[in-house]
Structure 1
Amino acid sequence: MSKHLDRGMTQLRSDLVKQFGIVEQMMSLSVRSLVERRSDLAVSVIDTDDEVDAKDIQIEEDCLKLLALHQPVAEDLRWLVTVVKINGDLERMADLACNIAERSISLDLFPLFRVPENVSKMVGTTIGMVRSALDSFLEHDADLARNVILADDEVDRLNVEMIQEIERRMREDPESVEPSLHCFSAIRHLERIADMATHVAEETVYLVSGDIVRHRRGEPES
């Protein structure tokens, strides 16, 4: 590996970690805005999205420059391609956090509506997945990545439970339909963030071991 390529990849790693820190904060604040009815936090999340978008473009451009100038091969090539994919996943997580924040602002019109208690548990599991997914990539830890993929089942289970609770509320109280739909949407966005973390983990497994594990959940390992 040339010194210039090495230096460029080190900078990309640093930029990716910084981007993750911003996106993680957006996720945390968006859910706090939902649970605590803090529209100020929701506005802060939405205002941060432009910063994430700008960083997303910069990281992708830097990856493409390294690919064009140094024509890396083997592991270095796979690493750069994976950075491009993970960078895109982080940007989509930020968009989903903004969507949750927007649903939170809409729910401000319904102060008596209670957000399901399991939202906090789902948030904890999801943010843990995102952290572990990034750690697995940075540390080339395929086992940690596989644990992230397995954790998605817990998020899916919580998602189903809360959707069932919201559907029950709508049947019992027609006046709760509108806020319930806002809450339903927020929970689905949170579940999608967990899916993005799973995708990062799947890409990491491929990077480290060469195994393509997408679309293979539930299948026995060979």
Structure 2
Amino acid sequence: MRVLDERLEKIKEEVVELHGIAKNSVELCIDALFGDENSAVKIDELERYSDILNTDIENEALGAVALFQPVARDLRFLATIMRISGNYERIVDYALKISRCRANRFREELEEIRKVLLEMFDILGSALQGDVESIADKLMTRDDMIDRKSRDIIDRLKGEEMTDETLCLIFSARFLERIGDILAKTGARILYIEKGRRVWIK
């Protein structure tokens, strides 16, 4: 195996790890929102580690470009993987913001959104291993579902007194919607790596 191939494989493994961290943070953030302090503490730890890992990935990718001057798919991989890594780090940031809120209502609706987001993570996890079959349609369908569910929560909260809980619920719904958008865009970037063409998903 070429030295560059070894470097690319290491970077890919780190991105897969960051993918898992982002997924875990989304899984935990709803529990934290509804008062699970252990989940809140865990997300705080995940957020700090995701910052470090994202920086490492960026530095290693830039170093590989400077050292090996890759072309074609290798260059496309390195240029795009930094954005994918940044996307996952942003998702953890949103999960952290949700975890710092507290609410007692809309748990069932928010858990439904979480379920769809976790499905999107699973689709992207397979895509990172090369399985990009119908990825655009799968992600777009689920992202549209999240948009509808998030906006329904926000619409139902309109007109209420803007208590801390109401604001937390509105912000949480919006953050979850943005996480869905980021996951859809991440899918488009994975397709670009694999196929060499840009695909609009979101």
Q: Same fold (TM over 0.5)?
A: yes
Aligned residue for 2:22? 23
Change (3 A) 1:211 1:150: farther
Map 1:83-122; keep pairs closer than 5 Å.
Answer: 83-104=81-102, 107=103, 113-122=104-113
The 2-side partners of 1:66 and 1:211 are apart by 23
Aligned residue for 1:11? 10
Percent identity for Structure 1 against Structure 2: 25
The 1-side partners of 2:5 and 2:11 are apart by 10
Deviation readout 1:33-68 (Å, 9 max, x if unpaired)? 124x21232122123311110111101111111111
1:158 maps to which of 140, 149, 159: 149
Aligned residue for 1:220? none
Is residue 2:195 matched to residue 1:209? yes
Map 1:27-46; keep pairs closer than 5 Å.
Answer: 27-35=26-34, 37-46=35-44
The 1-side partners of 2:128 and 2:178 are apart by 20
CA contact under 8 A between 1:145 and 1:204: conserved in structure 2? no
Deviation readout 1:94-130 (Å, 9 max, x if unpaired)? 10110111113xx4xxxxx422521111111012112
SS state at 1:9 partner: helix
Question: How far 1:135 sits from its partner (Å)?
Answer: 2.2
Question: How far 1:140 sits from its partner (Å)?
Answer: 5.1
The 2-side partners of 1:166 and 1:46 are apart by 28
CA contact under 8 A between 1:16 and 1:87: conserved in structure 2? yes
Aligned residue for 2:73? 75
Q: Hey, which bits of structure 1, 4+ residues long, moved more than 4 A?
A: none
CA contact under 8 A between 1:159 and 1:188: conserved in structure 2? yes
The code of the aligned residue for 1:79 comes to: F
User: Structure 1: 5+ residue runs without aligned partners?
Assistant: 108-112, 218-222
State how many pairs are aligned: 202
The code of the aligned residue for 1:68 comes to: A
CA contact under 8 A between 1:142 and 1:204: conserved in structure 2? no
What's the TM-score once normalised by structure 1's chain length? 0.83
The code of the aligned residue for 1:137 comes to: L
Map 1:113-192; keep pairs closer than 5 Å.
Answer: 113-139=104-130, 141=132, 143-167=134-158, 170=160, 174=161, 177-192=163-178
CA contact under 8 A between 1:30 and 1:98: conserved in structure 2? yes
Q: Which has the larger radius of gyration?
A: 1
The code of the aligned residue for 1:60 comes to: E
Map 1:193-204; keep pairs closer than 5 Å.
Answer: 193-204=179-190
What's the TM-score once normalised by structure 2's chain length? 0.91
